[in-house]
């Protein structure tokens, strides 16, 4: 019995080439813009001046701190809700949760920032004689504006929930929890010691999506008057365009490195678990 040989269609190789050019050409043009300085020729001065630029270190550390706090808050909100809905088996609750976590995609960041700004202005005027006044002041501390964490956690919900839901679909959560409960584990123990270890990849994916969102978010922070990394890049472009483009490329490279690190960590964990199963069998 002979098998028909299908000819290789040229367009199959053309599609990834076009897609690669779509992403790489702008990056190469940006890199060329930062390296070719008028009057100096090709130089790395745009990159060597990054770490000495005023506000670079402060804004980057602020964005990283906001990103970590946002990821922690978003996971704290979504993981128990997603697991509870999965355990209940109620399709209506799952539909409600999906709608709630999708709403941030419907609300534009400008509208979200306008609403938050209105509340922040209203609070001190009406709560100046109550203990809540200090809360309004604390969440707007420029050194670490927690109000941005609240806003970013809401904006990250659609991405974090989708990543967790994909992980939960691949795990029989109900069987794992029932087995842990039958062995005497409490509900927190079953969640932390049994369910979460099986969601490492989903948790890493959700964390990366939240991290990428915070590092690149500009609108909300700018409208509320704070200066994380993305806002600093735009403000720096007014005085030195090449420096701002160099910083943008550095930020993109940092995001890629984090993605590769998380992917490698997840792959290493899967390989380690597979090896343990083979040894055990």
DSSP codes of every residue in 220-246:
HHHHHT---HHHHHHHHHTT-HHHHHH
Alpha helices in 170-199 (DSSP H): 173-182, 187-190
Give, as one character, the DSSP assignment of residue 125.
H
For residues 205-223, average pLDDT: 89
What local confidence, expressed as pLDDT, does residue 180 receive? 82
**How many residues are given for the chain?**
281
**pLDDT bucket at 216, cuts 50 / 70 / 90:** confident
Instruction: State whether the Cα torsion 150-154-156-157 is positive or negative.
Output: positive
For residues 48-58, average pLDDT: 80
CA distance 70 to 165: 19
Model confidence at 220: pLDDT above 90: yes
The CATH homologous superfamily for domain 55-268 is: MetI-like (1.10.3720.10)
**pLDDT bucket at 152, cuts 50 / 70 / 90:** very high
CA distance 202 to 77: 15
Least confident piece of the model among 77-81, 107-111, 196-200, 216-220: 196-200
Q: Which helix (H) or strand (E) holds 36?
A: strand 36-37
Q: Where are the domains of the chain?
A: 55-268
pTM of the model: 0.79
């Amino acid at each position: 019995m002979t098998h028909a040989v299908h000819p290789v269609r040229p367009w199959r190789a053309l599609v990834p080439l076009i897609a690669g050019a779509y992403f790489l050409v702008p990056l190469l043009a940006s890199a060329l813009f930062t390296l070719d300085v008028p009057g100096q020729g090709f130089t790395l001065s745009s990159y060597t001046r990054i770490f000495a630029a005023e506000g670079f270190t402060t804004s980057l550390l602020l964005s990283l701190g906001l990103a970590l706090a946002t990821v922690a808050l978003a996971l704290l909100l979504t993981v128990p809700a997603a697991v509870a809905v999965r355990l209940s088996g109620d399709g209506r609750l799952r539909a409600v949760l999906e709608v709630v976590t999708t709403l941030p995609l419907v609300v534009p960041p400008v509208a979200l920032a306008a609403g938050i700004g209105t509340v922040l202005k209203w609070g001190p005027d009406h709560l100046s004689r109550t203990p809540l006044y200090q809360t309004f002041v604390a969440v707007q501390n420029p050194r670490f504006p927690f109000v941005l964490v609240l806003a970013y956690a809401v904006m990250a919900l659609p991405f974090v929930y989708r990543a967790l839901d994909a992980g939960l679909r691949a795990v029989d959560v109900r069987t794992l929890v029932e087995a842990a409960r039958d062995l005497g584990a409490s509900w927190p123990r079953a969640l932390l010691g049994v369910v979460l270890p099986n969601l490492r990849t989903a948790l890493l994916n959700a964390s990366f999506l939240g991290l990428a969102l915070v590092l690149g978010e500009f609108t909300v922070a700018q409208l509320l008057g704070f200066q994380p990394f993305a806002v600093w890049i735009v403000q720096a472009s007014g005085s030195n365009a090449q420096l701002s483009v160099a910083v943008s490329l550095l930020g993109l490279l940092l995001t890629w490195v984090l993605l590769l690190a998380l992917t490698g960590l997840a792959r290493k964990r899967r390989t380690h678990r597979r090896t343990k199963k083979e040894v055990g069998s």
